[in-house]
Amino acid sequence: MKTKIAIVGLGGVGGYFGGMLAKHFSNNPEVEIYFVARGEHLRKIKENGLKLITEIGTFQIYPKLATDKVDEIGTADYIIMTPKSYDLDATVEQMKPMIGPDTVILPLLNGIDNSERIRVLLPETEVWDGCCYIVAKINEPGVVENSGSVHRLVFGNQNQNSERLVSFEKLLKAAGLEADFHSDILTAIWKKFLFISSSASLTSYFDVTYGALLIDELRKKTLIDILNEFLLVANAEGIALHRSDAEKLIHQIESLPFETTTSMHRDFIAGKNTEVHSLTGIVVKLGKKHGIAIPTYEKVYNSLTERMKK
């Protein structure tokens, strides 16, 4: 029986994971990979395929179909969502023609509440939880580049452990992806959010790259303060994160290419809409919910929201 996988959003995340899936299954009639993109990026992919630059080589990749009209795809078995969090509601509406009674949605967006938001919008659809670790971006229309050797995906379902989760893991691994079904997916998502919230907030706040966060005494102290505040909020939410998780995060940043940065920082530089509310503001919101003082997060969030108004 044929398996249809739609990748919705062909930025760095969707471009890499979707590209690797399409590359592996290009000659397999049992698995079809579809790209949902838009604008000039879509036009270039339709003309020349997706150019994917990785540490193991550069590939020109052709999906079963690249489109911005999802009714051309039909019902999908799996929908991997990778848009920005502020586009989530509109993207869910766009996806509806692909959703059937057995469709599974796997969001790989930055943030901690995306799956729950989708479940509210689509209460009859199976929605998994997931996150990924990757530094990747669109270089130009039709071209996605992964920087470094980090490209890990974890997923699961807090409500059940089904055979379908295991079979999907096998499918991803067959394509050469570092992908794992995680039985405690919420903790995994919060660990990822520890990384993305702190790094996106501070690369944007200081207007610097990953590497530059650690070579300045003030920036590094601010990072440590942010991490400590995050741990307080996570623990109040019932998530067992520890100081060792913050220490591991600093080592992670040290291992990244010095000049790489976060997608939120790139959006600030480009004057685009940003994920500041879902990456920084939600921690402030949860701190207030639990009556926890997080002055560093509040200072950074207030500064970034003021910058967005200019």
Task: State the DSSP H helix or E strand holding residue 66, giving kind and residue range, or none if neither.
Answer: strand 65-67
**pTM metric for this prediction:** 0.87
Contacts of 218 (CB under 8 A, 6+ apart): none
Tell me the CA distances in angstroms from 214 to 47, 164, 267, 284, one per residue in order.
42, 42, 22, 24
Residue 73, φ and ψ in degrees, nearest 5: -85, -35
On whether both 272 and 225 belong to a single domain, the answer is yes
Tokens 């199976």 correspond to what residue?
126
Contacts of 309 (CB under 8 A, 6+ apart): none
Residue 16 has pLDDT above 70, yes or no: yes
Given this model, what pLDDT does residue 158 score? 75
On whether both 173 and 191 belong to a single domain, the answer is no
Residue 92 has pLDDT above 80, yes or no: yes
- Rounded to an integer, the average pLDDT of 258-270 is 91
CA atoms within 13 A on the CB side of 7: 26
Q: Of 123, 155, 183, at which residue does a domain stop?
A: 183
Q: Of 183, 207, 227, at which residue does a domain stop?
A: 183
Check which CATH number belongs to the domain holding 235 and give it.
Answer: 1.10.1040.10
Range of the domain at 261: 187-309
Helix, strand, coil abundance in the chain, percent, nearest 5: 50, 20, 30
On whether both 262 and 178 belong to a single domain, the answer is no
User: What whole-number distance in Å separates Cα of residue 47 and Cα of residue 244?
Assistant: 48
Q: Of 165, 183, 201, at which residue does a domain stop?
A: 183
- Report the chain's mean pLDDT, rounded to a whole number: 94
